[in-house]
Amino acid sequence: MDKILENLQTFWSFTGFANFTTDYLIMIGFGLIFLYLGIKKDWEPMLLVPIGFGILIGNIPLFQGLNVGVYEEGSVLNILYQGVQRGFYPPLIFLGIGAMTDFSALISNPKLFLIGAAAQFGIFGAYAISLAFGFDPAQAGAIGIIGGADGPTAIFLSSRLAPDMMGAIAVSAYSYMALVPVIQPPIMRLLTTKKERLIRMKAPRQVSHTEKVLFPIIGFLLTAFIVPSGIPLLGMLFFGNLLKESGVTKRLANTASGPLIDIVTILIGVTVGASTQADQFLQTRSIWIFIIGACSFLIATFAGVLFVKIFNIFLKEGNKINPLIGNAGVSAVPDAARVSQNVGREYDPTNYLMMHAMGPNVAGVIGSAVAAGILLGFLG
Amino acid sequence: MRLNEILVINTNDYQDDYGQQSSWIEIFNASYGTVDIGGCYISDDPSNLRKYQIPGGDVLTKIKPRQHVIFWADNQPFRGTFHVNFDLMGAEEIIFTKGDGKSIIDRIRIPSALKDSTMANKSYGRIEDGEGSIDGNGDGWEMLERTSASTNNAMVDKTAKPNRMKEMDPYGWMMAVLAMTVVFTALIILYFLFKQISRIYTRPTSRAEGTKAATPAAVAATKPSSDDEVNAAIVAALEMWMESNLLHDEESFVLTITPSRSAWNDKHELLTKLPQMKK
């Protein structure tokens, strides 16, 4: 009988209940909120559901030496986590993004490139704020990239500049990307007049096949020469787009934009979620990361909308840009463009801004990858 | 690969695997890939570049990126791969040559001062690993403050870049201005390039419109109407839907619907012969 009790006691010490602390409960609560938002509210379910479940996986209390935790070298989760830690998942996701992105809106109206550049102020505003709050420059750079509104870029950069903060940065970036429809509209309304919201933009012109093929080649060569440290992201983004637009590699483009990106999204979501173990995640600095992350989104939206307003001063009547697409300069594709469309239609139901907003939106993807390359070059 | 550091008189510096102290030559892999130096030559005689051949097939001659390897110049080559058949007291120069025995990779003249007994246990090396001349004139080389066999000649501070940035730019404004300038420059160049490209591709249409522009009716026709916007929105929505369902297999503005096969239109089903009674 004593032997049985002893074995039961040993078994009990192996269970999650024996190692349980309230920190784990809080993190499991976060995971459940993510799942609720993803499943019930339909907010970025492709991201929030894997991350939410990953948080549950990562926050089952374990005893040391079981070799199943994401931070235990050689465990299955740790092997899957290598893609995040060594930064090879983000370029693969960029390959898929390139293969599913249509840059026609941007090619037909190239001045929209500049809005994508302006919105990157969010990154460097957040960088300055982080420094003011006592983070060192490398950490500040990793936090700042949240303002690029690009999950893979945030993971890629933080894995190099501040690996210990990657979980909080990734969760913060993806959370705010899901919250774009909530964060951006009040700022857009605040900064624009009714007259500006009613501006109708010229319908985009038809873009030829040659232009579409030239775009990824020229885009890559130019940006990579300027910021070589961004090659993993920029190279894969433009390569994916060339697969799509060349017209001769349809199968490869379909794989990159379909099964491949789905597989990597699952792996990146679950492992990033699992990396938020309570002991690593529940720290005061994580709260600061969330606060500064929110600021970076606000600054990016401010900068995008204000830039369009200033830009309009120099544009002729008929060529003016509706400032409601300024928010789309952040690279949350296509959510930020959808926000432009929805806010625009509140004031004029026949004004369709979606196709125009896709221009700065995809320019934002390029802009944030370039910004990440710059930060990596200076701080890496 | 680079000759990186040498020590001529060794009385209480590093010891080899036999516990002996002798002259040494450090070679550094300055690349970011593993390099196998098996088959290469080290010599102290310009007229005999093939004096000591590094044995091939030894896993230890595969030098990892940015790593160092030490050769003992003790004139006792039978002691192993890393013991050469000359010593540095009698040498004027060290020459590192490729496996062809002709192409010199790097060479360095040994300062005569290094052979003075007052210079015992002092090494002569590159200020920065792998940096400086490769023609023997000693640019980028100096007497080092401390010997550093198999390690960096200069202390490398991994946090140097961020720390330097913190000193130069404590508030982050310089980074913001600099980085935004680069982002804007990259995207402005793209803007100008594609503006020019779009001019090439829209020129024929513009000319055609230019000839029509004389009449007010033609001007009115070129203005986008509300219907155009609606049509464009419908096309954009259709395209997005078809893209997401992988139904759209051609370029934009061309709607193509890939036919799907089912039992109702399957060729084999349609060609199935009806049962016929044998006569």
Domains of chain A, by residue range, sit at 88-379
Tokens 């060729």 label which residue?
B267
Cβ–Cβ gap B187/A227 under 8 Å: no
Instruction: Tell me whether residue B168 is exposed, middle or buried, using C-beta atoms within 10 angstroms of its C-beta: 0 to 12, 13 to 18, 19 or more.
Output: exposed
| Nearest-angstrom CA–CA distance, A217 and B47 | 51
| Nearest-angstrom CA–CA distance, A90 and A220 | 17
Using alpha carbons, list the distances in angstroms from residue A151 to A172, A265, B110, B201: 9, 10, 55, 36
| A124, A136, A205 member nearest B176 (Cβ) | A124
Q: What one-character DSSP code corresponds to residue A328?
A: G
Please say if the pLDDT value at position B182 is more than 60: yes
Q: Given pLDDT bands bounded at 50, 70 and 90, which one contains residue B247? A: low
Q: A221 and A361 in contact (C-beta within 8 Å)?
A: no
Q: What is the mean pLDDT of residues A180-201?
A: 91
* Lowest mean pLDDT across A128-137, B186-195, B255-264: B255-264
| Nearest-angstrom CA–CA distance, A48 and B160 | 37
Q: B34 and B64 in contact (C-beta within 8 Å)?
A: yes
Q: Given pLDDT bands bounded at 50, 70 and 90, which one contains residue A323? A: very high
Kindly list the domain boundaries of chain B, sorted by start residue.
Answer: 2-156, 164-218, 224-259
| Amino acid, single-letter form, for residue B253 | F
Q: Angle A174-A149-A86 (CA atoms, 0-180°, nearest 5)?
A: 70
| Nearest-angstrom CA–CA distance, A337 and A304 | 12
Please say if the pLDDT value at position B220 is more than 60: no
**Burial annotation B232-257 (CB, 10 A radius, 16+ → b, else e):** bbeebeebbebbeeeebeebbeeeee
Q: Residue B266: which region, alpha, beta or left (left: phi > 0; alpha: psi -120 to 50)?
A: beta
Please say if the pLDDT value at position B91 is more than 90: no
Report the 10 Å Cβ neighbour count for B146: 9
| Amino acid, single-letter form, for residue A126 | A
Cβ–Cβ gap A371/B183 under 8 Å: yes
| A114, A258, A352 member nearest B188 (Cβ) | A114
Closest CA to A47 of A132, A170, A131: A170
Closest CA to A26 of A266, A287, A267: A287
Helix/strand/coil percent split, chain B, to 5: 35, 20, 50
pLDDT of residue A184: 92
Cβ–Cβ gap A375/B179 under 8 Å: yes
Please say if the pLDDT value at position B94 is more than 50: yes
| Nearest-angstrom CA–CA distance, A375 and A128 | 13
Strand ranges inside B98-213, DSSP E? 104-109, 123-126, 141-143
pLDDT of residue B244: 63
Q: What is the mean pLDDT of residues A101-127?
A: 90
pLDDT of residue A174: 84
Cβ–Cβ gap A110/B176 under 8 Å: no
Which residues on neighbouring strands pair with residue B52, listed in sequence order?
B42
Question: Please, what is the average pLDDT of chain A?
Answer: 89
Nearest CA in chain B to A349: B230
Cβ–Cβ gap A137/B185 under 8 Å: no
pLDDT of residue A150: 83
Q: Which residues 6+ apart lie within 8 Å of A355 measured at CB?
A: A105, A204, B232, B233, B236
Cis upstream peptide for A137 (omega within 30°):
no
**More confident site: A380 or B178:** B178
| A125, A203, A222 member nearest B186 (Cβ) | A222
Q: B43 and B50 in contact (C-beta within 8 Å)?
A: yes
Cβ–Cβ gap B246/A254 under 8 Å: yes
pLDDT of residue B243: 63
Identity of the highest mean pLDDT range in A202-216, B189-203, B239-253: A202-216
Residues of B in contact with A366 (CB under 8 A): 186-187, 190
| Best to test chain B binding among A139, A225, A317, A378 (most B CBs inside 10 Å) | A378
Cβ–Cβ gap A127/B233 under 8 Å: no
Q: Given pLDDT bands bounded at 50, 70 and 90, which one contains residue A29? A: very high
Cα of first residue to Cα of last residue in chain B, in angstroms, is: 90
Q: Residue B276: which region, alpha, beta or left (left: phi > 0; alpha: psi -120 to 50)?
A: beta
